[in-house]
Structure 1
Amino acid sequence: MAEKVFTIKNPSGLHARPAMMLVQKASAFPCEVTIIKDDKKVNAKSIMGIMSLGIRQGETLTVVTEGEQEQEALQAVGEIIESVLE
């Protein structure tokens, strides 16, 4: 299992387009990818789960990966979270 905290840098937060990119990136890996915000846990491969978090700029998310290629998945998902996408 791998775990890391990331901060949202995008001024618009994690709205539909970057959320979809995050889901696509997470889905490219065979491991489980979970995103935790406050007390909510969601599957990072679920667009509805990601959107339900209402993620805004400056908020922190914990990403937990478990299984095959967990380190690679953690890095790739983290890059999406911390990028500034319009």
Structure 2
Amino acid sequence: MIRKPVTIQLDNGLEARPIALLVQEASQYASQIYIEIKEKRINAKSIMGMMSLNVHSGEELTVVTEGEDEEKAAQGIELFLNNVK
């Protein structure tokens, strides 16, 4: 299992379009991928779950990956979150 903290740098936080793209990115990996923020742990491959997060700019979340390609998945999600426009 890999845990990576990521601070959201988007002006509007994670809104509908970036969330849809994040779910697409997460779905490319075989590993289980979760986003943890505060007391919530959401499957990053679930569009409805991700929409419920309401993440704002400057907030820190944790990317948790577990499975056969967990390192690649953690790096891919972190890179996506740091570069999403």
What range is the shorter-chain TM-score in? over 0.9
Counterpart Cα distance in 1 of 2:81 and 2:48: 16
* Cα distance, 1:74–1:61 mapped onto 2, change above 3 Å: same
TM-score, length basis structure 1? 0.94
* Unmatched 5+ stretches in structure 1: none
* Cα distance, 1:32–1:84 mapped onto 2, change above 3 Å: closer
Aligned residues: 85
Counterpart Cα distance in 2 of 1:50 and 1:84: 15
Task: Give 1:56-71 correspondences, 5 Å limit.
Answer: 56-71=56-71
- Cα distance, 1:82 vs. partner? 1.9
TM-score, length basis structure 2? 0.95
Cα RMSD over matched residues? 0.8
* Unmatched 5+ stretches in structure 2: none
**Which residue in the other structure is 2:33 paired with?**
33
**Which residue in the other structure is 1:43 paired with?**
43
**Which residue in the other structure is 2:76 paired with?**
76
Percent identity reads 47
Runs ≥4 in structure 1, deviation > 2 angstroms?
none
**Which residue in the other structure is 2:23 paired with?**
23
